[in-house]
Amino acid sequence: MASYVARRLLYALLTFFGITVVVFALVHSVPGDPISFYIGTHGVSQLSSAALDAIRREHHLDEPLISQYLWWLRGVLTLDFGSSIINHQHVTTRILEKLPNTFILNSIAFLLAAAIGVPIGLWSAARSGRLMERTSAVLFFLLYSLPSFWVALLLMEFFSVKLRMLPLFGMTSDDYLQMSAAEQLLDRLRHLVLPVVTLSYAQLAIFARFSKSALTEVIRQDYITAARAKGVAPQAILWRHAFRNALIPLITLLGLTIPFLISGSVIVEQIFQWDGIGRLYFDSILTRDYPMVLGLTVATAVVTLLASLLADLLYAAADPRIRLEEQR
Amino acid sequence: MKRYLAALFLVLACSNERPLPPTTSVDESTPQEGGTVVRRLQSDVSTLNPILSTSGYDRFVAFFLFTPMVHFDVNLQVIPGLAEKWDIAPDGKLYTFHLNPSATFSDGSPVRASDVLFTLKKIVDPQNEAPQIAGSFEQLDLRNTKVIDDHTIAVAFKQELAAQLAHFNDLLVLPEHVYSKGDFKTDFAARAVGSGPYRLVRREPGKEILLERRPEYWGKRPYLQQVLFKVIIDDGTAWNAMKRGDIDESMIAADTWLMESRRPELTKTIDFRRFYTLTYNYVPWNTRDPMLSDKRVRHALAMCIDLKSIIDNLYHGTARAMNGPFTPDQWAYNPDVPVIEYNPQQAQRILNSLGWLDTNHDGILDKGGKPFKIEMLISGGANPSNPFSQLFQSELRKIGVQLVITPLDPSAFIQRALAGNYQCAYLSWDLDPDPDPFPLFHSSQIPPHGQNFVFYSNPEADRLMEEGRRELDQSKRTTIYHQLHALLADDQPYTWTVQVSSKWAINKRVHNVKESRGWGLFKWYPGELDWWIPSNQRTHDAAARRR
């Protein structure tokens, strides 16, 4: 097991370096540079070329790409991601400022989607092929294909503008600081409702269909038929024999979903004015704020790698055969 | 489980939401003190340090916290700000400012001439990476700039510039004893000490900024007790917030204006405003491109733009035709310059006479075996440059010119424009109150030195622009710019299209909201400082109570 973990870690490290090279090359090959932010977003006025030169020098924009990369890598290895070219703030500070917001929103949406989606998937696996299950499959595909900006606007229009039941945007009310602890919690929950619903309805459909197909696959296996022939109760077959073996694809899905917990969603964050990573990422790309884009990409890459590492370890835990193969 | 979910939903849903404000009649003539106005920021400010500001939104907030050396009044004329009066030496190179002796910063210390000098030094120091504001003081002669006494400073320049006095509106004076300590670039992003009528209560990045009136303010006291800026990026969300009464003002999109501004249930509480600001749309022509280097070709292409139809159908009458680098509200505007008439037949005749003929009968003009095919860069996404370019494309097709439309994001576009790697585009400019078009059309400003990315070079225009920016006599300057306007319209380095009006929604509980000639609702004096809210309509006071 230890060598298995060590090997996985080594792969992760190599992948990480590969990612930094690719991302750096990609970001710099997009046409335009941070200087164009100053030239392009402002009206007719003379710009000070001395100041523009100072920006180029400080961020090494006047050097060859290789040396820019080495400058940047040197920072990354000492955990210094540099500072934003646009507003001079440290990349790490900016990310840590926004990360909790994105994380809270996305993990609640994720948990909700999983908590509702997986049981529905199991339920439909048990009733595979019946009319109810077929209908629900169609409904989930419909749900999955609804564009989130449209759903968000409908939810807003109905619950916030017409009924005035829920807040329109933001994470807390104006008088949040004067509230008692219980009121504060309630206030936060109220602000979470619409964005969470917007984020989770499509995920819910994915979870439901994914767990359904995983379980259906397992139910067809001979040992299930054998268990059924032995006279084991259907509930016990489903939970004790089938579900554990259906976990593998679900773990893969989990590994794939975790990075989204921190990468944020531009659309939902913009519409609900949820001050998170998604919007920061988007703006940084538009302004070609290289240190910011790179910092965010590295953060996402690290989480993705950790998530797939976690998935690998969970595979081993869920399926003893994976461990055995490693020992051979 | 279902029951719990339902119960949870009820709890979440039944909490109190603010009721709509009552509307009762108030005496308009006597402003009332106090109250909180809630403003919208379309994007969070990048920093509260006014020297480093990079967006217009930064200036919206800075207007309340700092005082510029000079203000602009409702007609965008220069009036006293922190400086009560000033003398300009006859050669236009030395400005002596007399500061208001009663002026104080929000920490109680007096504003001194040394603070002005300190701020100027910070502006022109390249290490501060403030290319915009440093551009306004590019000609500053720091060695001859001297503090004369506590309240007098003589600011020297290497070259006279007619717009220089107006540029002092960018000089928001900082207290040296505060801003000289710590890291100038990062330490003042979320705190501020200025001499403005308001002081900062708090800034929550990405969310809001709360300002409070200074009780001991040295100038004319504003009416509103608090100003709360809320960041709302999305236009649709902001419009919903406007309808709910969550915010008091917001710029609104053209389609919102069209669909909502006449609905009686909305006009009861919302005041819809439309006015022109210092902005125009234009098609820049790369004059170094072999196909576009002849001004007759550019004129012919311009004749294919049906401005009347664009104004009526695309902007529903909320735009007006442009014909040169100045807007009709500016004194530099020459009323005798005509708008280019829509006349595709004439355009075709001109191109034919220049040798562009459809020799191979494929419907596209050609010359020397080369078809007349040009590319237009537009910014990606849903915006008015999109339908404009399509209309232009279909008009050009009728006379045998093929227009290829390429959407790009702004940074990518700027790179291609500065490299001269384009033929035409559809863009807009925001202008300064001073009309000097030197940065756009003078031959010295051709990239990489400046923003003349149409590569326009005409010695006569150069001369007019050089004279115009140095001429301190207003009537002579007007004559120069009138000539320049006619010359640029004739040369067509740009084809100017329309000036689109700015559209706003303002909650009617906010009184005395006036617009300036060119800057709209904000940043001019007294502008927002004269707004007031009747005491019986203060729905937001509890919300912004000091914490």
Of the candidates B131, B411, B418, the beta carbon closest to that of A47 is on B131
Q: Where are the domains of chain B?
A: 3-65+196-276+503-545, 70-178, 279-500
| Segments forming the whole domain that contains residue A215 | 97-286
Q: Are B428 and B384 in contact (CB under 8 A)?
A: no
Residues on chain A touching B245 (C-beta within 8 angstroms)? none
A117-124 average pLDDT score: 87
pLDDT given for residue A189 in this prediction = 94
Q: Per-residue pLDDT for A149 more than 80?
A: yes
| C-beta atoms of B409 and A186 within 8 A | no
Give the integer Cα–Cα distance in Å for B36 and B209.
Answer: 13
CATH number corresponding to B3-65+196-276+503-545:
3.40.190.10
pLDDT given for residue B16 in this prediction = 46
Of chain A, the percentage scoring pLDDT greater than 90 comes to 28
Of chain B, the percentage scoring pLDDT greater than 90 comes to 78
Confidence bin at B171 (pLDDT 50/70/90): very high
Task: Identify the CATH assignment for B279-500 out of 3.40.640.10, 3.10.105.10, 3.30.70.580, 3.40.50.720.
Answer: 3.10.105.10
| Nearest residue on chain B to A51, alpha-carbon basis | B126
Give the integer Cα–Cα distance in Å for B49 and B59.
Answer: 10
Q: Per-residue pLDDT for A2 more than 80?
A: no
Confidence bin at A140 (pLDDT 50/70/90): confident
| C-beta atoms of B411 and A286 within 8 A | yes
- Beta bridge pairs of residue B40: B230
Confidence bin at B159 (pLDDT 50/70/90): very high
Query: Domain for residue A92, yes or no?
Result: no
pLDDT given for residue B25 in this prediction = 66
pLDDT given for residue A177 in this prediction = 84
Number of domains in chain A: 2
For chain A, count helices (H), then strands (E): 15, 0
Query: Domain for residue A91, yes or no?
Result: no
| C-beta atoms of A87 and B189 within 8 A | yes
Same domain for A108 and A80: no
Q: Per-residue pLDDT for B9 more than 70?
A: no
Confidence bin at A42 (pLDDT 50/70/90): low
pLDDT given for residue B547 in this prediction = 39
Confidence bin at A240 (pLDDT 50/70/90): confident
- By CB neighbour count within 10 A (0-12 exposed, 13-18 middle, 19+ buried), where does B98 fall? middle
Confidence bin at B23 (pLDDT 50/70/90): low
pLDDT given for residue B502 in this prediction = 95
pLDDT given for residue B180 in this prediction = 95
| C-beta atoms of A47 and B234 within 8 A | no
Residues on chain B touching A190 (C-beta within 8 angstroms)? 12, 15
B315-330 average pLDDT score: 94
Fold of B70-178: Dipeptide-binding Protein; domain 1 (3.90.76)
pLDDT given for residue A197 in this prediction = 94
Residue ranges of alpha helices (H) inside A146-231 are: 148-155, 181-219, 222-230
Same domain for A276 and A255: yes
Whole-model pTM: value is 0.90
Same domain for A123 and A13: no
A45-51 average pLDDT score: 77
| C-beta atoms of B134 and A51 within 8 A | yes
Range 90-129 of A in CB contact (< 8 A) with B: 90, 97-98
Mind listing the pLDDT tens digit for each residue in B406-427? 998 888 888 898 899 999 999 8
A262-281 average pLDDT score: 89
DSSP B149: E
Confidence bin at B69 (pLDDT 50/70/90): very high
Same domain for A60 and A103: no
Q: Per-residue pLDDT for B340 more than 70?
A: yes
A123-136 average pLDDT score: 83
- Domain B3-65+196-276+503-545 and domain B279-500 have a common topology: no
B163-182 average pLDDT score: 95
Same domain for A159 and A111: yes
Residues on chain A touching B544 (C-beta within 8 angstroms)? 174
Mind listing the pLDDT tens digit for each residue in B224-239? 999 999 999 999 999 9
Confidence bin at A43 (pLDDT 50/70/90): low
Of the candidates B17, B132, B418, the beta carbon closest to that of A164 is on B17
Q: Are B99 and B82 in contact (CB under 8 A)?
A: yes
Q: Per-residue pLDDT for B1 more than 50?
A: no
Give the pairing type, strands B83-88 and B94-99: antiparallel
Q: Per-residue pLDDT for B6 more than 90?
A: no
Same domain for A314 and A188: no
Confidence bin at B24 (pLDDT 50/70/90): low
Give the integer Cα–Cα distance in Å for B113 and B119.
Answer: 10
pLDDT given for residue B381 in this prediction = 65
Interface residue B414 vs chain A (CB under 8 A): yes
Same domain for A294 and A256: no
Same domain for A143 and A252: yes
Same domain for A194 and A118: yes
Mind listing the pLDDT tens digit for each residue in A51-81? 888 888 888 888 888 999 999 988 888 888 9
Residues on chain A touching B411 (C-beta within 8 angstroms)? 30-33, 36-37, 40, 286-288
- By CB neighbour count within 10 A (0-12 exposed, 13-18 middle, 19+ buried), where does B362 fall? exposed
Same domain for A105 and A79: no
Residues on chain B touching A37 (C-beta within 8 angstroms)? 54, 411
pLDDT given for residue B14 in this prediction = 46
CA B475 vs. chain centroid, Å, equals 26
| C-beta atoms of A190 and B542 within 8 A | no
Q: Per-residue pLDDT for B352 more than 90?
A: yes
- Beta bridge pairs of residue B357: B366
Residues on chain A touching B247 (C-beta within 8 angstroms)? none
pLDDT given for residue A321 in this prediction = 73
Confidence bin at B149 (pLDDT 50/70/90): very high
Of the candidates B246, B439, B545, the beta carbon closest to that of A45 is on B439
| C-beta atoms of B132 and A38 within 8 A | yes
Mean pLDDT of chain B: 91
Same domain for A205 and A114: yes
Residues on chain B touching A90 (C-beta within 8 angstroms)? 186
Q: Per-residue pLDDT for B190 more than 70?
A: yes
Residues on chain B touching A275 (C-beta within 8 angstroms)? 205-207, 231
Residues on chain A touching B415 (C-beta within 8 angstroms)? 31-33, 36
The CATH number that applies at residue A193 is 1.10.3720.10
Confidence bin at A1 (pLDDT 50/70/90): low
Same domain for A198 and A324: no
Give the integer Cα–Cα distance in Å for A103 and B297.
Answer: 57
| C-beta atoms of A287 and B186 within 8 A | no
Q: Per-residue pLDDT for B339 more than 50?
A: yes
Give the integer Cα–Cα distance in Å for B465 and B462.
Answer: 5
Q: Are A323 and A8 in contact (CB under 8 A)?
A: no
Structure tokens given for A85: 């070219």
Q: Per-residue pLDDT for B48 more than 80?
A: yes
Nearest to B433 by CA among B294, B331, B541: B331
Query: Domain for residue A61, yes or no?
Result: yes
Range 29-58 of B in CB contact (< 8 A) with A: 46-47, 52, 54-55
Structure tokens given for A48: 């000070």
Interface residue B255 vs chain A (CB under 8 A): no
Mind listing the pLDDT tens digit for each residue in A184-228? 999 999 999 999 999 999 889 888 888 888 888 888 888 888 888
Interface residue A147 vs chain B (CB under 8 A): no
Q: Which of A30, A46, A112 to mutate to test the interface with B (most CBs of B within 10 A)?
A: A46
- Strand, helix or coil at B68? strand
Range 112-171 of B in CB contact (< 8 A) with A: 124, 126-132, 134-136, 138
